[in-house]
Each structure stands twice: as C-alpha cells, then as structure tokens.
Amino acid sequence: MKEDKHTRRLKRLARSKHKRSSINATFLHFLNPSRKTKKRLRAKAFLFVLLFSIAIPLNAQWDYRGGKAGRLAIKSALMTFAGAMDGLAEGSKYHYPAFSSTFPNHNPNFWSPQSWRNKWKNGDPAQGERFFGSSTFLVWTTDGYHMSRMARNFAVAGAVTIEICGSKKPWQVYLFEFLAYMICYNLGFTIVYDVIIGK
C-alpha cells in the first residue's frame, strides 16, 4: 500500500528530530564534559599557548628584521605568552585548588599561595632574606608566582624592544598594534586563568 503524503511527512519529521537530538546530545556533552575530559582540554590548551608562543618566533620564514609581518607575529606571540604567564601566576595564587587539580605533579612548596615565604629565612620575614637578593632582584627564583611574573615581564619587554628596533609609523598603526597586543595578552591570560586552571 502506498503511503500518503501526511505519513511520509511524519516519518521525515521523526528522522530529523532523531538527528537533531543526537546532535544536541553531542553538543551538550561538549559543553558539559566530564572532569577527566576537562583536565585533558586544559592541558591541551596550555600546550597550545606555549607552542604558539614559541613556534612563531622560531619560524625561519619570518625574519623580524626584514618584514612587518614577521615583527607583528613575534610581538603577538610574545604578548600571548606574557598573558599566559600572568594567568599562570594569578591562577596559582588565587585559585590554588583548581591549579593543583590541573597540574597534579607540581611542587607545592614552589607554587602554593604560601610560597612567598620562600624568600625569607625559615619562611619568617623577621629573620631576613634567605639569600642575597631573594626578596628583591632574585625573588623570581624563590616561587612560581614571581617566576611567572618575571617571564611575563621578559616577554613584554621583548615585544617592546622589537618595536623600538622597527621603523617609524603613523599614530593609527601604533593604536592598532596597541589594541592587538592587549587582545593577545588578555587572550593568553584568559586561556590559562579561566580555561586551563578554571575557577
């Protein structure tokens, strides 16, 4: 017996609803992944930021002395790396439980919020510096927070230095580059602080 038009339409609608529900289930699984999947995604995102930040400056085809695209790529990578290091520092300080679950093999003495005491003898500020410069110019060697901040500062200084070595440009170009670098910096920070470490 031949199906009527109404029956065919109902069957077609049922098939499309089934497809949509399976797509929705997949999409919802992506939005609400398991704890194990979240850790993997965070680790992959962190590796992506590091590789992106390292790979662009090392690419031999982009000569920072010779071309605008090369200088822009290197500066953008440095600003992204700076933002990532800032996110790492802030995440280790203000969201330590999430930081610990993201990086389970970290050294708590170096990365915990109490690691600022490492710069002092026996962790006591009253006893003075642990070694010469441990509370001033060598503070970045005493804990993860200050090490990440120093890496951020080096990356920003590198981006600025590359700009100084470049040629003069109209003010609109400087404004555009400033906004682009701030976006790159905040992107790196957000990836590490909000996505990889989480709240």
Distance CA 46, CA 17 (A): 38
Q: Of 73-77, 141-145, 174-178, which has the strongest mean pLDDT? A: 141-145
Distance CA 79, CA 65 (A): 18
Sorting pLDDT into bands at 50, 70 and 90, what band is 51? low
pTM, two decimal places? 0.59
> How would you classify residue 85: left for phi > 0, otherwise alpha for psi between -120 and 50, otherwise beta?
alpha
CA angle 177–180–186, rounded 5-degree value:
140
91 in Cβ contact with 116 (< 8 Å): no
Q: Is the pLDDT of residue 153 over 70?
A: yes
